[in-house]
Amino acid sequence: MSNSTLTHQSSVCYHCGDQLPAVKLSHDDKDFCCIGCQSVYQILSENNMCNYYAYNDTPGQRIKEEGHYEYLDEPSIIAQLINYKDKENTIVTFYIPAIHCSSCIWLLEHLYKINPAIFSSRIDFLKKEVTISYKHEQVSLRKVVEVLNQIGYEPLISLQDVVKEKSNSVNKQLIWKIAIAGFCMGNVMLFSFPEYFGLSALEKEFQYLFAWLNLAFCVPVTFYCARDYFTSAIASLKQKFVNLDTPLALIIAVLFIRTAISTIFNTGPGFGDTLTGLVFLLLMGKWVKQRTYHHISFDRDYRSYFPIAITTLKDSREKPVAIGEIVVGDRLLIRNGELVPADAILMKGDAWLDMSFVTGEAEPQQKVLGEIVYAGGRQMGEAIELEVVKPASQSYLTGLWNKEFYKSDVRKQNFNDSIAKYFSIGVFVIAFAATGYWLWQNDSTKAWSAFTAVVIVACPCVLALSTPFTLSAILSVFDKKGFYVKNTDALEQLAAIDTIVFDKTGTLTSTHQSEIRFEGSLSAGEKLLVASLLYNSSHPLSRQVLKVLNPSKIYAIAKYNEVLGKGIMGVVNGRMIYAGSKRALPFDVPAKDNGGVHIVIDEEYKGCFTVDQQWREGIAPLINELDDDFDLKVLSGDTNKDEQLLKSVFKPSTPLLFNQSPHQKLEEIKALQARNKQVMMLGDGLNDAGALKQANFGIAITDNINNFTPGCDAIMQGTAMGLLPKFIQLSRDGLKTIKISFAIATAYNLIGVYYAVQGTLYPLVAAVLMPISTITIISFTSLATRYFARKNRLK
Amino acid sequence: MTILYFLIGCSVLVALIFLGAFFWALKNGQHDDVYTPSVRILFDDEVQDEKSDQDHISD
């Protein structure tokens, strides 16, 4: 036990690991940064659960604030949330973003120690979900959630239930198919081996049996495992369009028919091994492609931003109501920090709405009585009352999602499908030419076998494999760097980008980091007074300022008074101190900005702590790097106060548009696409949602991937933004790799076709050629991806 | 050599049993979460409080 570890241990909060402020709380010889952390520790120690701290150092999360969970007493809302209920027990699954380490697993699986009525809880760590079983006679759902919240694991309950929508039935069916195909392939290989090694006269009697067994194994593979290829091929032919599945379906059909004929007429070995191997590999490729991120949802819409329920006032009584049940004319009560769920008219109270997520405006907006408040704003201040004018599903914001015409004119065709057409034509030309030649030679058996052999050998199996393997290898390189792309198709879109559009608030600036500076002057003694006052407030701004001040001691305070969202005041050492926003000050002050924390001591204005939005790190070099290769554009919903600053970063010719509404942003993207631009949009908020969806490649920037992000093609961590040019380069290199592997595959195919057109393709050659070309291609793609990742310094 | 007919039947049957076992496991949800059990198995049943604190500081 070294001294340095000890001092390190004691300088951070025992619970959450944050740096301890100079004035800290102590309990049981352990130091805590705030009341919240200490209370979690107390709950755990009372319940004999301090093991939580044994598995990891400082595993805790800082608790934000008390939640309001009255709505969880409503039977209709409970019914929406729970998975299962019988006479005694209820099972419910929650998504808990805070789950991050083994201590979390331990704690959440020992909830029964806190409340024995919660008799079982299981965590799925990768999905960050906990499934809780409890006796609903003894404990209510609300109580369960409150227990979770008390220990710092608040479940995310939103209108779009991520937990239930993410069913993986499709994926499961694919695994069934892979298992069957693999099983059949193994057995067919076993029964084909004697054929490979040559049969002695004694073994000849088994040949017939082996052939029939192989055919039997080919039946489920063809008609169950490969069914999707047939349906997809038929569907695409109906639309007079050839996709990659068309030639694949043809090959599978030809292989099966040839195997069946040779078995029934006993004309020699069939292609059972090739058929089952092909289907197995194809399904594997599909599976690699379908690999998804457990903890990230790319298809979130406004519903996952909204809460599931809201408080309404009926006959001056508060009643929680599900958002979907809100009707026009309802009276809503919105507390400090809550969201406005529907377009409504302000009826009572002082509304200061933070619309930054909806419109991109950084400053909160004040609304006067009778004014319309749009859904999505967050109230900062006292509770307000609103009257609903439009139900949540028809609000101004949700209209962005309900539009059907997204990307209608941007056909997303990937490399595979575009080449499939030429590939199919090439195969048919060769196959018919060979058939024609043998028919002209009056050799109809050879004509038939040449035709089928050409189709079999020219299998685009490699194409179907190289794309998913290459692209998914690139996806995993990306996700280690904090860039999560939805799927491999999206990655191909990324490679084609030539225009990049930026949002400003939350994208070029960070919502996370902010810089606090003081305008005015405070003496050291006065700083202590201010800190003593702020020490009592849980408001995030107070905490931030307190961190900057970092006082050495805290004075006692008298007559403390907090006006929610406005400010705080109190008497410290006999001096009256006020800290808060300008509009709440009891008198006029010579300050120009309203925002920030204004300080008044003994009726004398001292100055203001202002919070500056900070530009993300490395923006200037990023823009410089992108400027050469791409057309850039900025679409901001905010006012043009930062125009000068942006102009210094971007090229003078870059268009910078301000005061853009969500719909204007969407139209702007469409206008670019109309000029044949491949547009990438980087945004973060709901105001960018339409543009992100319309863009060829939409990236949602976020500081915490567990936070809400609008629907998009990729989610990027703010810290990874500087790597964007490298990401684009790697995706382009990936497409290059696919094209090279296609060339390699063609070389293999030409060798095969050489034998095939002569009608002398022996099944063994086909069975050997296919795996060899597959192995070559897969090793080539993985080596090439590694090489390119290294070259782009992403590994 | 006729014994081979019997052995082939046996081998296919055994393979089918394993396939069935895999499907049962899949349906049972045993492959749904392949990470958490690896952590869960490392938890001790009950660690003494004082001891755990010391471990915590020394590691």
First-to-final CA distance of chain B: 66
Q: Does residue B8 belong to any structural domain of this protein?
A: yes
The H or E element containing residue A81 is helix A75-81
- Spell out the residues 6+ positions from residue A774 whose beta carbon is closer than 8 angstroms to its own: A281, A461, A462, A465
Range of the domain at B30: 3-43
Task: Return the residue of A nearest to B59 by Cα.
Answer: A1
Residue A596 bridge partners (DSSP): none
Is A379 in contact with A352 (CB distance < 8 Å)?
yes
Q: Which residues contact A700 (CB under 8 A, 6 or more apart)?
A: A683, A684, A688, A692, A709, A710, A712, A714, A715, A716
Integer Cα distance of A623 and A644 in angstroms? 15
The yes/no answer on whether domain A512-615 falls in CATH 1.10.3720.10 is: no
Q: Which helix (H) or strand (E) is A282 found in, with range?
A: helix A272-290
How many Å lie between the alpha carbon of B24 and the closest alpha carbon of chain A?
Answer: 11
Tokens representing A622? Answer: 């990023």
R_g over Cα of chain B: 23
Taking phi over 0 as left and psi of -120 to 50 as alpha, with beta for the rest, A381 belongs to: left
Tell if the CB–CB gap between B49 and A48 is shorter than 8 Å: yes
**Which of A102, A126, A172 lies closest to B26 in CB terms?**
A172
- From the options 2.70.150.10, 1.10.10.10, 3.40.50.720, 3.40.50.10150, give the CATH code of A306-402: 2.70.150.10
A221: left (phi over 0), alpha (psi -120 to 50) or beta: alpha
Find the CB nearest A183 among B15, B35, B57. B15
The answer to whether the CB atoms of A126 and B53 lie below 8 A apart is no
- B26, part of any domain: yes
Q: What is the dihedral of CA A244, A246, A247, A251, to 10 degrees?
A: 130
Chain A residue nearest residue B55, CA to CA: A54
The number of distinct structural domains making up chain B is: 1
Identify the bridge partners of residue A124 per DSSP, sorted by sequence position. A129
Record the tokens describing residue A217, joined without a space: 């194994």
Report pLDDT for A512. 62
Determine the residue of chain A that is closest to B11 in CA distance. Answer: A187
Residues of A in contact with B1 (CB under 8 A): 202, 205
Q: Which residues of B touch A106 (CB under 8 A)?
A: 43
Nearest-angstrom CA–CA distance, A743 and A441? 33
Residue A187 to residue B49, Cβ atoms within 8 A: no
Strand partners, A53: none
Distance from CA of B38 to the nearest CA of A (A): 10
CB A748 within 8 A of CB A769: yes
How far is A423 from A420, CA to CA, in rounded Å?
A: 5
* Residues of B whose CB is below 8 A from A122: 36
A175 and B26 in contact by Cβ < 8 A? yes
ipTM value for the complex = 0.78
Q: Are A1 and A8 in contact (CB under 8 A)?
A: no
Contact predicate A520/A599, CB 8 Å: yes
Domain range annotation of chain A:
3-55, 70-165, 169-290, 306-402, 481-510+616-729, 512-615
The pLDDT of residue A239 is 85
Report which secondary-structure segment, H or E, holds A252: helix A245-264
Kindly provide the b/e burial profile for residues A53-76, where b requires at least 16 CB atoms within 10 angstroms of the residue's own CB.
bbbbbbbbbbbeeebbbebbebee
Rounded Cα–Cα distance for residues A229 and A252 (Å)? 9
Which amino acid appears at position A761 of this protein?
A: L
Q: Which residues of A touch B39 (CB under 8 A)?
A: 102, 105, 125
Condensed to tens digits (0 to 9), the pLDDT of residues B2-34 reads 788 899 899 999 999 999 999 999 888 888 778
Q: Give chain B positions within 8 Å (CB) of A120.
A: none
The answer to whether residue B55 is domain-embedded is no
Q: What per-residue confidence (pLDDT) applies to A223?
A: 94
- Alpha helix segments (H runs only) across A487-561: 488-495, 524-534, 540-549
Asked if the structure places residue B21 within a domain, the reply is: yes
**CA-CA distance, A762 to A434, in Å (whole number)?**
16
- A395-404's contacts with Cβ under 8 Å and 24+ in sequence apart are A395/A342, A395/A343, A396/A343, A397/A302, A397/A358, A397/A662, A397/A686, A398/A301, A398/A302, A400/A302, A400/A662, A400/A663, A400/A666, A400/A686, A400/A689, A400/A690, A401/A301, A401/A302, A401/A689, A401/A690, A401/A693, A401/A711, A403/A690
Residues with Cβ within 8 Å of A551's Cβ and at least 6 positions away in sequence, in order, are A21, A22, A23, A527, A528, A531, A532, A535
Could you list the mean pLDDT of each consecutive 10-residue stretch along chain A, which spans 795 residues? 42 79 77 80 82 79 70 81 85 85 85 87 85 89 87 78 55 89 92 76 76 92 93 88 83 91 84 89 85 64 74 82 82 83 85 74 75 82 84 71 52 70 84 89 83 80 82 86 84 88 82 70 83 76 76 79 74 84 64 69 80 77 87 84 81 85 85 89 81 87 74 84 90 91 84 80 75 84 90 82
**Closest residue on chain A to B18 (Cα):** A183
CA distance to partner chain A, nearest, from residue B37 (Å): 9
pLDDT confidence of residue A593: 58
> A686 is written with which tokens?
């709901």
3-state secondary structure of A240: coil
- Smallest CA-to-CA distance from A736 within A793, A780, A776 is with A780
Tell me which chain A residues have a C-beta less than 8 angstroms from the C-beta of B45: none
Contact A607/A619 with Cβ under 8 angstroms?
A: no
Distance, first Cα to last Cα, chain A: 36
A264 three-state secondary structure: helix
Assigned CATH class of A481-510+616-729: alpha beta
Q: How far apart are CA A791 and CA A735, in angstroms?
A: 15
Residue A50: list chain B partners with CB under 8 A.
Answer: 49, 52-53
Instruction: Give the DSSP H or E segment for A37.
Output: helix A35-46
pLDDT of residue A260: 93
Per DSSP, chain B holds a count of helices (H) and strands (E) of 3, 0
Q: What is the 3-state secondary structure (H, E, C) of A342-366?
A: CCEEEEECCEEEECHHHHCCCCCEE
Compare all CA atoms of chain A with the CA of B25 and give the residue at the minimum distance. A176
Residue A90's contacts (CB-CB under 8 Å, 6 or more residues apart) are A82, A84, A133, A134, A135, A136, A141
Asked whether the beta carbons of B46 and A54 are under 8 A apart, the reply is no
- CATH number for the segment(s) A70-165: 3.30.70.100
Mind listing the pLDDT tens digit for each residue in A474-515?
888 888 888 888 878 888 888 889 999 998 877 888 766 567
Residues in Cβ contact with B22 at an 8 Å cutoff, skipping those fewer than 6 apart: A179
Q: At what angle do helices A444-457 and A724-757 cross, to 10 degrees?
A: 170
The three-class DSSP label of residue A789 is: helix
Candidates A493, A487, A579; CA nearest to A533 is A579
Determine how many CB atoms are found less than 10 A away from the CB of residue B24: 10
pLDDT for the residue B55: 47
- Split at pLDDT 50, 70, 90, the class of B51 is very low
d(CA A377, CA A358): 7
Cβ atoms of A50 and B49 within 8 Å: the answer is: yes
- B30 domain-assigned: yes
Partner-chain contact A190 B11, CB within 8 Å? yes
Question: Which is nearest to A720 in space by CA: A623, A793, A617, A612?
Answer: A617
Residue A656 near residue A646, CB atoms below 8 Å? yes
Beta strands A317-322 and A309-314: pairing type?
Answer: antiparallel
Rg (CA), chain A: 33
Name the 3-class secondary structure at A288. Answer: helix
Measure in Å the smallest separation between the Cα of B58 and chain A Cα atoms.
5
A216-235 confidence digits (pLDDT tens): 999 999 999 999 999 999 99
Which among A1, A123, A175 has CB closest to B36? Answer: A123
